[in-house]
Structures are given as structure tokens and as C-alpha cells.
Amino acid sequence: MVKAGPAVFLSPEEVASKLPTTNHDAPVMLDRIFRLLASYSVLTCNSTTLPDGKVVRLYGLGPVCKFLTMNQNGASLSSLSLMIQDKVIMESWYYLKDAVLNGGIPFNKANGMGVFEYLGRDSRLNMIFNKGMSDHSTILMKNILEMYDGFDGLKTLVDVGGGVKHVGGDMFESVPKGDAMFMKGKVIVADSILPDHPDSSLATKLVATFDCIGMAHNTGGKERTEKEFEALAKGAGFQGFRVKFSAFGTYIMEFLKTD
């Protein structure tokens, strides 16, 4: 549908003809799937009734597909969705009750090892994980760079846990030299912030979801409130802490050596 164009509507038969399948039922199955997606406004639908009474449905992209298809930078939120909903990741949730009652990490219980050890052994999931994280960062950073001037004048920026052009080592022992980390005396944190009291906003739903994902898959994985981030900064020896702005639910915070 993306290749056909934003204003083009296709029949299930036309879509099926582009798929590597010989299944004669594919058009009917696609029609049923597309109808479900249209009911949630992911797709749009135009229908006509033929003289014999048969209803023909044609489908196009809904507005939300802007975020599920590749942008000009080749990034999309679909890769993050595929990562979160991968069968290996989803299996962890079936062990959440056991983790609550008996302790432990759901992912480890489901797979017999930690998530990063698993990623080192499963090239398929590792590729999905890195693509999901990379696309998410690409989309966020474009917006952040348009609004934030804290990177001005920096020649070297250390991305802790970035996963791209990585440098081996233990962050608790030493970190690569970077202007933002050392020379300017500033740590720039891009992360979600939990509200002290939950509400029904989309932003709160998103960060609360990420918080539970962290709980289910990582040792100590969690999101933090603003007060917890400030305590983290002060506990690490920084005197100043400030929240600059937010972009798509991600906040830019600065840990400063001086107020």
C-alpha cells in the first residue's frame, strides 16, 4: 500500500498478488485482517455494492500509518512494536505472576538466562532488538536536535547504551572520553519520567508500559519519577539538576557539576 501511494486504495486481491504465496484463500484472509485494521482506523476502507449484491472493499493507509512506515531517515515505530511483541519477549509475561509471588525476573524464568545473554545467542532477535532501539532513537533525536541546544559546541558525545558504534568495557569502571561527560561537566539524560500520581493520559500510559516492560525483562529495570532522577544525580555527586523539555514522551535532563 505504501508503494502504491498515499491516496491509492487496493483490493485484497491486488495486495495478495504482490505476496509470495500460492494460497487461494489469501485474498479472503487479507480482507478479514484489513477489515479489523480499518475498524481501528489503521486502514481506511471504501466499499461498493455490485449489481449482483456482492460487496467489494478497497483499502488504503490511515493517518497512523505515517508512524508505522519508514520515514525519510529509514526509521519507523513498527520496528519497536515488532521488538516488544516478539514471541520471545511476549513469553516473559506468562511468568509475571510467578515473579511477583516468588521473586526473580520473568524473562529469565522463561528463557533460563538474562535478556542480553539471550540476545548474544539469538541473532534473529538481536537484529530485531537493535533495529527497534535504533529506529526509536533516530525518531526521537531528530525532534530533540530541533529543540535542544545543549549539544552545541560538542565534538564527542558518549551515548551510554546506544548500541551503535559501541565501545567495549564496564561503565562502572570507566567511560570513553566525551565533551558532554567530562569537559563540560554535564551529563545529558534522555529518558521517560513517571508521574507521581498516575493519570489516563497517553504519555502516562506509555511510560507506565515501559516501566512494566523493564520489570519483566531486566534486572532492576524501571522508569523513574522526576524526584528519583534528581536524587540519582545528587547521589552521583552532581549539584545541579534540571529538566529541559520533552519530545514524544522522552525528557531531556541535565546533571550539572554546579547549580
Tens-digit pLDDT profile for residues 105-142: 999 999 999 999 999 999 999 999 999 999 998 888 88
* Structural domain count of the chain: 2
pLDDT band at residue 147 under the 50/70/90 scheme: confident
Sequence-ordered alpha helix ranges (H) in 77-223 = 78-84, 87-91, 96-102, 106-111, 115-121, 123-147, 202-217
Pair 258, 216: CB distance under 8 Å: no
pLDDT (0 to 100) of residue 183: 40
Domain membership of residue 29 as a residue range: 12-66
Long-range CB contact pairs, 238-241, < 8 A, 24+ = 238/187
Boundary-marking domain end, from 147, 167, 182: 147
Q: pTM to 2 decimals?
A: 0.80
Could you tell me if residue 93 is inside a domain?
yes
Boundary-marking domain end, from 147, 165, 181: 147
Pair 72, 53: CB distance under 8 Å: no
What's phi and psi for 84, nearest 5 deg? -65, -30
Averaged pLDDT score across all residues of the chain? 89
Residue-wise pLDDT tens digits, 156-205:
776 666 555 555 565 556 555 555 444 456 788 989 999 999 999 999 99
Could you tell me if residue 170 is inside a domain?
no
Grid coordinates of 70: 519508514
